[in-house]
Amino acid sequence: MNVRLLIVLAGGAAMVWSFRRWRVALQLALVLMVFEGAIRKWLFPGAQDLIYFAKDVLLLGVYGGFLRDRSRLRMRSLPQPLLYGLLAFSALLGLLQVFNPALPNLLVGLSGFKAYFFYVPLVFVVPAAFPSDAALYRFLKRYCLIAIPVGLLAMAQFLSPASSVLNTYARTNEEAFIATFGSSTHVRVTATFSFITGYSSYLLAMAILILCLVAAARWQFRGNLPMFGAFGMTLLPMLMTGSRGPVLFLVLLFPFYWWLAVIRERGGGMAFGRLLVALGLVAGFMVATGQNAIDAFRGRAEAGSDVRNRITSPLLSPYLLLPDAGLTGFGIGATHQTAPTLAPGLAPYSWLHGLLVEVESGRVMLELGAVGFLLIYFLRAYLSIFALRQVFALRTRFHRALATASFLFSLTALPGVVVFDVTSDLYYWFFAGLLLLAVRLDREVVRKAAARAAAARPPAAVAIQPEPALPAAAR
């Protein structure tokens, strides 16, 4: 029995298990996202295509288990008709786009539909997966701490030559070029991920999540030193990837974070002071251990001549491509990186007539046309606005911090990549589900506080003033 067949059988068993234990399987799928590339690169290089779908197999079981148990779940559905309507209309449009006659074949359309909508059910699954604040905080903290060993691997890659076994990509062409900084021989690291893009997306998501979790704890040093270490091990490897986008996003998002998660909260002045001290310690750690990485990143940033184009392209590309895309575009999946493989009898992307672009907003316009483009980006904008509203509406600091994390990450999706980067795709919908989970948990806190108040006082004198309910580890 060969390795590929064993992996297929293991995948089937994993789907059955995830169907029965879907809450645990959801957490495992998120962890597998981090280590999938390492498994593909070093453990099963001959079955990279099968390992790539491992997390999706788990999530299929998760979705099935959630649907099976949905009627028995004792949780109230959140009334969000506009959000659910946008999701439904988007999925319907995507399904119709699968049959766009401009596509080379049906497989390309099905692959495109998966890229847009496979992780959308996380919006419904995540709010049902965690029963309490304590369980949620425990998972999120442990998940953030994974960044430490992953970051140590990235540092080892940075200090190793390009020919080292540590520096390889998940690919079939072993002769492919290993990316370096150009100004030095140091490689652009991938850590446990298949390529640079996935690791950069992971680091941005973890940096935002860590910042908001320590903000929920008022940036207290006691009990949060491992989280500060994890934050340092996201910032330093972020420089080692050579990707300028995540660094620019963090710089642009920090004022929103400072206002929403730190200074406007009770005790914000003291928390801000501790934040400055913590950032100073992290900066000192980076200078002491990663001066070469800082220099390499600075050299790459200063040598870049396409910065202005990268900033303006997400805004201009859809407008410039609108006349060619029309109302319906070339079909969902037409620009996806897997399309040439699924249409082997044709020249790669020949069905686009030379209109292929790199920026995601332009690619969405080419695939879905004006109607689909407006629907997809209106949905993204609505999620950002909804998250910001919850930052001001939720009653507890922990839940507001989660809403802030969701808001910040959703902002990165407006000019950034979601559909065409599986890591960003999964995290985008996970953060959306995390937002709805924070709303659900916050409402439960209010209901319990109202019940306690009603039991302690005469009905006419009830006044609901719930105290902040944080997980014990986050206080």
- Which three-class secondary structure string do you get for 15-52? HHHHHHCHHHHHHHHHHHHHHHHHHHHHHCHHHHHHHH
Residue with tokens 């998002």: 253
pLDDT value of position 177: 76
pTM for this entry: 0.92
What pLDDT does residue 469 have? 45
Give the per-residue pLDDT at 300: 80
Which residues, other chains included, contact 318 with Cβ-Cβ below 8 Å and sequence gap of 6+?
Answer: 361, 362, 364, 365, 373
Please choose, from the candidates 127, 137, 136, 76, the residue with its C-alpha nearest in 3D space to the C-alpha of residue 433.
127
**How far are the Cα atoms of 66, 115, 152, 154, 214 from residue 158, in angstroms, in the given order?**
42, 31, 10, 6, 28
**What is the structure's pLDDT at 305?**
61
What's the pLDDT score for residue 222?
A: 87
In this structure, are residues 356 and 349 in contact, taking their beta carbons and an 8 Å threshold?
A: yes
Q: Could you say which residues of the chain have pLDDT below 70?
A: 1, 74-78, 171-176, 183, 304-307, 458-475
Q: In the 3-class helix/strand/coil scheme, how is 128-165 assigned residue by residue?
A: HHCCCHHHHHHHHHHHHHCHHHHHHHHHHHHHCCCCCC
Tokens of 245: 């986008």
On whether the CB atoms of residues 331 and 367 are closer than 8 A, the answer is yes
Q: SS3 for 274?
A: helix
How does DSSP classify residue 180? B
